Each structure stands twice: as C-alpha cells, then as structure tokens.
Amino acid sequence: MATEKPATAKKAVRKAAPARKAAPAKRAAPAEPVANAIEVSGLRKSFKGGVDAVNGVDLAVREGEVFGFLGPNGAGKTTTVRMLCTLLPITAGTARVAGIDVVRDPAAVRRKIGVALQEIGLDPIQTGREILELQCGLYGMSGTRAVARAKELLDLVGLADAADRRTKTYSGGMKRRLDLASALVHSPTVLFLDEPTTGLDPASRVTVWDEVRRINESGTTVFLTTQYLEEADQLCDRLAIIDRGVIVAEGTPEELKSAMGHDVVTITVAEAVLGTARAAVERLKGVQQVVEERNALALYVDNGAESIPELVRLLDRADVTANAISVARPTLDDVFLKATGRRLEGDDETGEEKSA
C-alpha cells in the first residue's frame, strides 16, 4: 500500500501544508506511529444469496486526508462505507475508525463520525434550519447551542439565505449541502460522504467540492465515494479504485497516472479487425501494454507522438485501416482501464453485467 509517499505538488499548491504533511518521516519509528483515521484489513461483506460485495479490502486513510473511493455501479462502495459507519455488520476482517474498532465499540465510532449517505432523506415540509436544529437536539445540544450551531452550519454550506425555506423548494445541490451540514452537527473527526455529487449539475458539483475542501481544511478527515474521475482527481489527496469488491489501484492521483507509463495512444478500428490490429501494434517498440476496447485499442507507450509513424506502418503492413489515432496523457480512466480492462466513464449501464 502506498502509505509512505510524500504529498503531491498539486496538493501543496491547493492548501497551506498542514503539519500532517511532515508525517512520513516519522513513519519508520514504530514507537510513534502516525495516526490513521481509518484502518481496514481484510474487510469482507457477503450478502445472502452469495454476493461478495466487498472481497478483502485493505485501506489506510491518514488523518486530515480527503480519501477517495472510486468505482463503478455495484463496485462495493456503499457497502464498505456502511460497514465503516457501523450501519452494516462485517462478514470478516477488521476496521478501525478514529482509532476505534467498529465491531468492538460501534457507539464510540458513531460519536466520532459524520455520515451523508447516497440516498438523502430530508423532510420536505421542514426548513433547512429546522432540520439542523432538530439534528443538534438529537446530539444533546441545548436550545440556544442548537440554534447557534445550526446557523454556523448553514453559513458553512452556503444555505443561510435559504435557511427558512422548506426543503421541498431546494435544488438537488442545496439538498446535498444541507445533508452535508447535518453530517457535521457534532463536529466529526471523520466524515463519510457516499457519492456526494452524483446527479448534480457541474456547477453544483463544484460548490459541493468547495464545501468538502473547507470542511477538510478545518481538520476533518474525509472519506468519499465517487463514480466521477474528475472528482477523485480534483478533490482527493489519495484514492483507491474499487471494482467488484476488490481494490485494483491505490495512490495519489498523480502517482496512479504516472505509473501508467507516459502516453496513451488510442487507435479506433472496425471491431472485426481488432485482433489483427492488436497483433500488429504489439510489435511496436516501447509499448508497455495494449488494452482492447470494443472498437479500439489503448496502447501505453513511452512517447505517443513519436510512435505514430511506426504504428501507421505496422497497421498498414497488416492491412488494417485505423479510423482514428489519438494521443493523450493518461487519466484516472486509463488507470481503471489498465487495471480492469473496462472503462469507468460511460460504463454506468454495463457496470454489473459482466460479473465473474
């Protein structure tokens, strides 16, 4: 697991480096281990009927990180989150959240965490303010403290102006932000967000990202699941990619992309000649891997632009006509493709059809 890599340059630019960034140097000394906000080992969940939704997951999320859990529909993201939040019994393995074992002391874990689940359940008749004040009351705050805390949270998530409107008049993005505020009532150490921006338009998505960053900057560790590559790329310090209950890649976005080799050359050909094309292009010098898609080949090569003349020659010799050839820097989608043989984006409909 990539637990000892230094912070990325991107992250350093985005935030003033907090004290935790100096942590890796200390990790060698076993007497003084750096705290992990979440530690998961061999975590499994088998549902009745034989679905192994989570199939041996290991994770270490450091304090203060925004950690992304990226995967397609049905990958096991929500199941993992629900186990970590003590909402679902685990089948095997161990999990500690904020230093507490989720099986041994679920009540203590719950006091340390905030959760915004994938399905939002807001009372449509209540106003945003009423919902938050009620939530504060549930955490044992007195009337005046509850009023003050609700106001603070409404400001934090940018809902002060809409505070006294019923939530049925809120947009999807506003509902998400209110849900986020509800999860923050008791100032949790670790915040779990299950697909916080799914279904939001791009502008609302960016607003939610801003809230998440702000919350993280105040010291809260964030564990968020997402199906969006850009979200993982922009928001997360580190991420794990999960597919069919198994982690297939882990690291900072930069590490994952740079581990891909330098460039991705995509060659679009007719489906019928894919095999012939593959055999031809595999002869290219410097090709690290070739992944087949339905009507395209993705080649991981040292230098994409320089390889094109040779690729064209190889295809020509094999009598294959390329419909298009393009060169790009690797994205997290390429990381996913290389690890699983499938694309993550645009795969929503087919994500579950190929279960092994």
Ligand X SMILES: Nc1ncnc2c1ncn2[C@@H]1O[C@H](COP(=O)(O)OP(=O)(O)OP(=O)(O)O)[C@@H](O)[C@H]1O
- Which residues bind to ligand X, rule: CB under 6 A? 47, 49, 51, 53, 71, 73-79, 118, 227
Rounded to a whole number of angstroms, the minimum distance from the CB of residue 225 to Mg ion is 6
Burial status of residue 140 (CB atoms within 10 A of its CB: 0-12, 13-18, 19 or more)? exposed
Residue 340 class from Cβ within 10 Å (0-12 exposed, 13-18 middle, 19+ buried)?
Answer: buried
Residues of span 167-226 touching Mg ion by CB under 5 A: none
Distance of alpha carbon 115 from alpha carbon 106, whole angstroms: 14
In Å, how far are 56, 272, 324 from 351, measured between CA atoms?
A: 20, 24, 26
Residue 3 C-beta: closest distance to ligand X, Å:
23
- Which CB sits closer to Mg ion, 190 or 193? 193
CB of 91 to ligand X, least distance (A): 12
CB 327 within 8 A of CB 338: no
The Cα–Cα gap between 180 and 120 comes to 10
List 36, 55, 78, 182, residue binding Mg ion (CB under 5 A): 78
Question: Applying CB under 5 A, does 79 fall inside the site for Mg ion?
Answer: no
Choice between 204 and 227, CB closer to ligand X: 227
**47 vs 139, beta carbon nearer ligand X:** 47
From ligand X, Mg ion, none, which one binds at residue 158 (CB under 5 to 8 Å depending on kind)?
none
Extract the tokens encoding 173: 């993005």
Q: Closer to ligand X at the Cβ: 76 or 128?
A: 76
Which residue, 78 or 252, has its beta carbon nearer to Mg ion? Answer: 78
* 191 within 8 A of 112, measured Cβ to Cβ: no
Q: How far is the CB of 78 from Mg ion (least distance, A)?
A: 3
Under rule CB under 5 A, residue 80 binds Mg ion: no
227 binds Mg ion (CB under 5 A): no
Nearest distance, CB of residue 59 and ligand X, angstroms: 15
Q: How far is CA 300 from CA 167, 256, 307, 325, in A?
A: 49, 14, 11, 13
- Min dist CB 205 to ligand X, Å, is 16
- The DSSP-derived string for 288-349 is EEEEE-SSEEEEEES-HHHHHHHHHHHHHHTT---SEEEEE---HHHHHHHHHSS-STT-TT
Q: Residue 346: which of Mg ion, ligand X, none does it interact with, CB under 5 to 8 A by kind?
A: none
| CB contact at 8 A, 113 and 189 | yes
135 binds Mg ion (CB under 5 A): no
Footprint of Mg ion (CB under 5 A): 77-78, 118
